[in-house]
């Protein structure tokens, strides 16, 4: 697949001037693609690899379950919130310059993570990492768009970029396990340093990006961060401090107040990062709800199983990472099948079926215990790999067709932001239940695991019904 993308296009021998100018341009495009692919891969690996390293982080830094939740969610929440305006930043600064900023910030934050002396310092560094990742994601796609003018070559480049993300889901847990077992959890973050250096070296040899005027909605961005952070704090700490404790109630109040402030800011801004009229469109609202629920299911299960394998089953990091490989294989294969199924049966049916399968996956995992045979655990994970991977490609295409062309970037950023938020909220919920339902702060509560799976499965059933009822028939 990579050969047609990375090889320079053939040029007629009768045009020597064209040969001289096209070769550097093609080389620059190839370098831009490699840099984009590496960036997308490393920010994806960072999520799944860290999940496997969590028990080792807790043993070294002496953080409880709440600390582990924040290690995951500090990254994911900043990623989700800042992605809303990161696309505008890439347009304003130019894709290459924004990408350099994002990769540089992500790499420096990775060094801070590796050197963190305590759980608080690690969480703070993860916040900065998430900010860097939020810049990297849209800038990497914009860099590919700039590098490839030909639609067919650009489509192949984007397909390769997408495959890199799918491969990272498979590689991340295994790599996290190997690095944690052989060199400790800090090596998971140190790995990002040479990768970041390679990306920056590649970017130095790519073409400069044009800048376009793109207003930044600072008030909307600030209130979005406060809303998500307040909500996450309330859910995470509610399981530890009590749902009626003063800090938790204050966090809920901050989230609610910031949410209203966000609405007011978007209503007043001439060019808001989230146009409120877009949210009122039925198909857009359903797509965002589905994206939230699908990621809540997948990332919640990923967080849950990383702890289940190591804390309840006594597996090593490497063994736990290898247990995720079949799941990643199903995801990659289903991602390839989904677009063809949508063409044959219609997107609505594929979206509904994918969600139904993922909802089923939540409920079939409820009987898991410390004695469940490992072959059965892997078998029960099959619906998790199939459901989300089947629904998301059709969901994305459905959303893109539901909005005007000039709003495609905004809608895409909003969908990705809601998906990341769903994952963060699910991790917050599962962590609170694991520690708060019959387990202590360092334990693993099976009752909490079962409750979380039922809650997320129920949410998926609701969004499945909404999609079946409100999405257009095709």
| Residues 255-268: tens digit of each pLDDT | 999 999 999 988 88
DSSP string for residues in 238-273:
HHHH-TTSHHHHHHHHHHHHHHHHHHHHHHH-SS-S
C-alpha–C-alpha distance, residues 138 and 413, integer Å: 8
48 within domain boundaries: yes
Q: Please check whether residue 66 is in contact with residue 119, taking contact to mean a CB–CB distance below 8 angstroms.
A: no
Task: Using 50 as the pLDDT threshold, list the residues of the chain that sit under it.
Answer: 1-23, 437-442
What is the CATH number for 352? 1.20.1250.20
Q: Please check whether residue 1 is in contact with residue 106, taking contact to mean a CB–CB distance below 8 angstroms.
A: no
Burial of residue 469 (number of CB atoms within 10 Å: 0-12, 13-18, 19+): exposed
Q: Report the C-alpha dihedral over residues 115, 121, 126, 131, rounded to 10 degrees.
A: -110
- Give me the pLDDT at residue 455, please: 93
Same domain, yes or no, for 255 and 354? no
427 within domain boundaries: yes
- How big is the CA angle at 290 (ends 289 and 291), to the nearest 5 degrees? 90
Same domain, yes or no, for 165 and 56? yes
Where does a domain end: 162, 181, 205? Answer: 205
86 within domain boundaries: yes
39 within domain boundaries: yes
Tell me the residue range of the domain where 413 lies.
281-474
15 within domain boundaries: no
C-alpha–C-alpha distance, residues 202 and 231, integer Å: 39
Average pLDDT, the chain: 82
- Give me the pLDDT at residue 25, please: 56
Where does a domain end: 205, 228, 260? Answer: 205
- H/E run at residue 169: helix 151-183
Same domain, yes or no, for 256 and 309? no
Same domain, yes or no, for 256 and 332? no
9 within domain boundaries: no
Same domain, yes or no, for 419 and 348? yes
- How big is the CA angle at 86 (ends 82 and 87), to the nearest 5 degrees? 145
Nearest CA to 72 out of 85, 53, 91 is that of: 53
Same domain, yes or no, for 112 and 238? no
**How much of the chain is helix, strand and coil, in % rounded to 5?**
80, 0, 20
Same domain, yes or no, for 352 and 458? yes
Q: What is the pLDDT of residues 206-215, one digit of tens each?
A: 877 766 666 7
Handedness of CA 291, 296, 464, 388 (dihedral sign): positive
Same domain, yes or no, for 295 and 433? yes
Same domain, yes or no, for 66 and 31? yes
Nearest CA to 10 out of 156, 147, 150, 157 is that of: 150
- Give me the pLDDT at residue 258, please: 92
The pTM score is 0.79
14 within domain boundaries: no
- Give me the pLDDT at residue 4, please: 29
144 within domain boundaries: yes
Same domain, yes or no, for 290 and 386? yes
Helix, strand or coil, per DSSP, at residue 323: coil
C-alpha–C-alpha distance, residues 135 and 115, integer Å: 23
Same domain, yes or no, for 380 and 328? yes
Where does a domain end: 205, 239, 257? Answer: 205
> Looking at the 3D structure of the chain, how many domains does it have?
3
Q: Read off the tokens for 258.
A: 């910031």
Q: Please check whether residue 331 is in contact with residue 169, taking contact to mean a CB–CB distance below 8 angstroms.
A: yes
Same domain, yes or no, for 390 and 250? no
C-alpha–C-alpha distance, residues 309 and 312, integer Å: 6
- Give me the pLDDT at residue 398, please: 83
């Amino acid at each position: 697949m990579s050969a047609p993308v990375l090889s320079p296009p053939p040029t007629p021998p009768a045009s020597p001037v064209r040969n001289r100018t096209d070769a550097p341009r093609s080389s620059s495009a190839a370098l831009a693609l490699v840099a984009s692919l590496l960036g997308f891969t490393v920010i994806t690996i960072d999520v799944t690899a860290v999940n496997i390293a969590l028990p080792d982080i807790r043993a070294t830094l002496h953080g409880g379950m709440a600390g582990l939740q924040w290690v995951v969610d500090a990254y994911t929440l900043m990623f989700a919130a800042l992605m809303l305006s990161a696309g505008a930043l890439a347009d304003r600064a130019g894709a290459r310059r924004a990408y350099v900023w994002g990769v540089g910030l992500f790499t420096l934050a990775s060094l801070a993570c590796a050197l963190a002396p305590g759980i608080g310092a690690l969480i703070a560094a993860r916040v900065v990492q998430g900010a860097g990742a939020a810049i990297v994601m849209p800038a990497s796609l914009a860099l590919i768009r700039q590098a490839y003018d030909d639609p067919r070559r650009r489509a192949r480049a984007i397909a390769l970029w997408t495959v890199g993300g799918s491969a990272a889901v498979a590689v991340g847990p295994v790599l996290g396990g190997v690095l944690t077992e052989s060199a400790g959890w800090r090596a998971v973050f140190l790995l990002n340093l040479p990768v970041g250096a390679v990306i920056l070296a590649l970017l130095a040899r790519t073409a400069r990006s044009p800048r376009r005027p793109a207003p930044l909605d600072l008030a909307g961005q600030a209130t979005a961060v406060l809303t998500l952070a307040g909500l996450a704090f309330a859910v995470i700490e509610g399981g530890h401090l009590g749902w009626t404790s003063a800090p938790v109630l204050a966090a809920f109040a901050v989230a609610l107040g910031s949410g209203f402030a966000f609405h007011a800011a978007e209503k007043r801004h001439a060019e808001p990062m989230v146009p409120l009229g877009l949210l009122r469109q039925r198909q857009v609202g359903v797509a965002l709800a589905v994206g939230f629920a699908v990621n809540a299911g997948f990332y919640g299960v990923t967080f849950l199983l990383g702890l289940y394998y190591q804390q309840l089953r006594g597996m090593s990091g490497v063994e736990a990472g290898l247990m995720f490989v079949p799941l990643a294989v199903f995801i990659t294969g289903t991602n390839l099948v989904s677009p063809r199924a949508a063409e044959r049966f219609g997107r609505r049916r594929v979206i509904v079926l994918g969600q139904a399968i993922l909802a089923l996956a939540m409920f079939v995992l409820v009987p898991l215990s410390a004695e469940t045979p490992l072959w059965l655990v892997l078998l029960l994970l099959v619906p998790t790999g199939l459901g989300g991977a089947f629904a998301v490609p059709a969901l994305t295409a459905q959303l893109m067709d539901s909005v005007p062309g000039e709003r495609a970037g905004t809608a895409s950023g909003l969908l990705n932001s809601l998906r990341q938020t769903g994952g963060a909220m699910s991790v917050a919920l599962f962590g609170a239940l694991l520690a708060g339902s019959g387990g202590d702060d360092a334990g693993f509560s099976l009752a909490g695991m079962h409750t979380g799976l039922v809650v997320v499965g129920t949410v998926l059933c609701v969004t499945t019904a909404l999609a079946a009822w409100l999405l257009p028939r095709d």
